[in-house]
Structure 1
Amino acid sequence: MTRMAIFASGSGSNFQAIVDACRSGALDAVPALLICDKEDAIVVNRAKAEAVPSFVFTPKSYKNKKEFESEILLQLEKHKIDFLVLAGYMRLIGSTLLTAYKGKIVNIHPSLLPAFPGLDAIGQAISYGVKLTGVTIHFVDEGMDTGPIIAQKALEIEPNDTQETLQQKIHKIEHEYYPQTLQQIFSNKGEKIIR
């Protein structure tokens, strides 16, 4: 069974959805570790409640990214992690982790990439007045939301949608779609899953 480390920086609603899918048997994987870069993040409490071990670090207490990613790598090895799942982790992954987990790091992003990469994708979609947005799950490379796309799900933006209502709709899709897509990734080992 695939042992995942879930990387998150905030409330951890996608972390919770993934853990719930594992517990229910919908996702055939083990949420073996949480990696978090914010001590006061709600996701840390979620991990405690679910008895998922955590590694919480403060980036500023390290000289550079290579140093804290080397520390993360030691934790990943200690917990025998096979695959990295980014779920609201607000940092770019550096070469230390990209090299160690080549082709085994995925991210979820609240837009139809390549549209609206980076921060506040939902706000950007509202500001630009687009009629369609959605969710993208992609492999992680050194860029910001630039890795190969695995799966996308579109969502129509209604005329009366606000940033808040759109965010709720996107979260609902993410919470179902991310565990489903991870299950496909883990059950299609070696097969091409990009579609």
Structure 2
Amino acid sequence: MPSPAVARLVVLVSGAGTNLQALLDAAAEPSYGARVVAVGADRDDIEGLARAERAGLPTFVRKVSQFETREGWDRAMRDIVSRFEPDLVVLAGFMKLVGEDFLAAFDGRVLNTHPALLPAFPGMHAPSDALAYGVKASGATLFVVDGGVDSGPIVAQVTVPVEPDDTVETLHERIKVAERTMLVDSVGRLAREGFTITDRKVRFGR
């Protein structure tokens, strides 16, 4: 797990990169304990890559369509991310599922967020599903990625109330704000304190 030295983060994005920007802003403080060393994407011409380039960071793109198989793409992502020797890999709005080869290379060190309180409402439509179910509270989860869909060990969660007049858009927007703070705070703690995973329980500290 990350050492007391400044942890190296590789961040993968698919869109605007607002979570990436939050990590970049936090990492500007030496006390944060982590720095972004590279940013990758599964598509060209996105704001997330532009943010990285403005920050002077190396970037890379590996599109699924460039490879004959999904497994080939997964290995290519593994290989390029490995070059930057990350302590943690953060999927920040990355819209592709990484596979077995990728996860094996960074065992227990790949993080993702989800806009619901897992294990409730996994999948692509969590805010919509939560509203349809009529829950009174939703939120966001930071978890360690495993081979399932939004099923890995939970690092942190934050609760967001569901208002009577919420739409999918208004609820999701409030969740994203809370999610961003949770991500920044938790990645900093993971970097500074280290962590262990035992029986699905993520504990800070070495």
What TM-score, normalized to structure 1? 0.93
Deviates further, 163-172 or 143-152: 163-172
Q: 1:190 deviation in Å? A: 4.4
- Structure 1 position 94 matched with structure 2 position 99: yes
Name which of structure 1's ranges 142-151 and 164-173 shifts more when overlaid on structure 2.
Answer: 164-173
Please give the per-residue CA displacement for 1:144-195, whole angstroms capped at 9, x wherever unaligned.
1000111111111011122222122112112211010011111222446726
Q: Which residue type is aligned with residue 70 of structure 1? A: R
Asked if residue 113 in structure 1 is aligned to residue 118 in structure 2, the reply is yes
Counterparts of 1:90 and 1:15 in 2: how far apart (Å)?
A: 14
What's the counterpart of residue 81 of structure 1? 86
Contact 2:99 2:147 survives alignment (8 Å): yes
2:36 matched to 1:28?
A: no
Distance 2:21 2:111 in 1: 17
For 1:69, the equivalent position in structure 2 comes to 74
TM-score of the two chains, using structure 2 as the length reference: 0.88
The 1-side partners of 2:56 and 2:125 are apart by 31
For the residues of structure 1 that align with 2:161 and 2:196, how far apart are their CA atoms?
31
Q: Are 2:58 and 1:50 equivalent residues in the alignment?
A: no
SS of 1:194's equivalent in the other structure is strand
The one-character-per-residue Cα deviations of 1:10-63 (angstroms, maximum 9, x if unpaired) are 111111111111113463111111110011322111111122211112111101
Quote the RMSD (CA, aligned, Å).
1.7
Moved more, 141-150 or 62-71: 62-71
Instruction: Report the CA distance between 1:76 and its aligned residue.
Output: 2.1
**Counterpart amino acid of residue 9 in structure 2:** M
Partners of 1:186 and 1:32 lie apart in 2 by 14
For residue 119 of structure 1, report the CA deviation from its aligned partner. 0.5
Query: 1:114-166: CA deviations, max 9, x gaps?
Result: 11111021122122221110010111001110001111111110111222221
Corresponding residue for 1:40?
Answer: 45
Please tell me the residue identity of whatever aligns with 2:202.
I
Q: Does 1:194 align with 2:202?
A: yes
- How many residues matched? 195
Task: Write the distance in 1 (CA, Å) between the matches of 2:134 and 2:94.
Answer: 27
User: What does residue 173 of structure 1 align with?
Assistant: 178
1:109 and 1:136 in contact (8 A); partners too: yes
Q: Secondary structure at the match of 1:152?
A: strand
Q: Which runs of 4+ in 1 moved over 3 A?
A: 190-193
Is 1:184 paired with 2:189? Answer: yes
